[in-house]
Amino acid sequence: MRKLTYFIACSIDGFIGDPEGDASAMISLVDEELLEFLRAEYPETVPTHGRRALGMDDLPNKRFDTIVQGRASYDLALKEGITSPYAHLREYVASRTLGESPDPNVEIIADDLVGRVRALKAEDSAYDVYLCGGAGLAGELVDEIDELVIKTYPIVQGSGMPMFASGFAITEFTLESVRALGNGVLVRTYSRKH
């Protein structure tokens, strides 16, 4: 069984964006060391257009071959006219409203989200599945998440979009690694306690 990994950027107080979900306060703090970390360990988490701009086009995928996004997160790309924001991965977008996919590389999941994600996890592959977010989708899939990779940026927001839009329930995770970067970003990896 391969893992579903929620790979996400958040503030010290656990928000993944402003109250509308906008994560640009964090994106503005990305520096060369963080890019080097992504290049070395998670190049596939950089959207295709960003990879091109950063000269990362040729890098092979390291951890993931599949991405699952919520429709609101995918909308950010669509608004820029980009229909396949992660063209180097198999792309799945959860949506009950989108209907037909606007791109041959993007498959829409309209029904049985949990069943579809379980089927992706059951596929025979050396690569894991990247859960991109946002809060709504992560909240629906919290029981399926095997690993968290949390990039915590050194900012406090006070309010914003939570990491999970879900009801109250305790799920235990084990800390696997911590990496502190010079700009104050902390990358913590947790695995789910089974």
Ligand X SMILES: NC(=O)c1ccc[n+]([C@@H]2O[C@H](COP(=O)([O-])OP(=O)(O)OC[C@H]3O[C@@H](n4cnc5c(N)ncnc54)[C@H](OP(=O)(O)O)[C@@H]3O)[C@@H](O)[C@H]2O)c1
Chain contacts with ligand X (rule: CB under 6 A): 8-9, 16-17, 21-23, 70-73, 76, 94-98, 109-110, 113, 132-137, 140, 161, 165
To ligand X, the closest distance from the beta carbon of 90 in angstroms equals 17
Question: DSSP secondary-structure letter at 2?
Answer: P
Q: 18 with 155: CB under 8 angstroms? A: no
Residue 190, beta-bridge partner list: 148, 175
Nearer to ligand X, 65 or 67 (CB): 67
Separation of first and last alpha carbons in the chain: 14
Q: 97 with 110: CB under 8 angstroms? A: no
Tell me the C-alpha distance between 55 and 46, whole Å.
Answer: 11
Q: 86-98 as b/e, with b when 16 or more CB fall inside 10 Å?
A: bebbbbbbbbeeb
Nearer to ligand X, 71 or 90 (CB): 71
Nearer to ligand X, 39 or 193 (CB): 39
Handedness of CA 35, 81, 59, 117 (dihedral sign): positive
To ligand X, the closest distance from the beta carbon of 21 in angstroms equals 2
To ligand X, the closest distance from the beta carbon of 153 in angstroms equals 9
Q: Longest C-alpha distance within the chain, in Å?
A: 44
To ligand X, the closest distance from the beta carbon of 124 in angstroms equals 25
Nearer to ligand X, 54 or 139 (CB): 139
Nearer to ligand X, 125 or 166 (CB): 166
To ligand X, the closest distance from the beta carbon of 171 in angstroms equals 18
Nearer to ligand X, 30 or 124 (CB): 30
To ligand X, the closest distance from the beta carbon of 176 in angstroms equals 19
Residues in the chain: 194
Question: DSSP secondary-structure letter at 144?
Answer: G
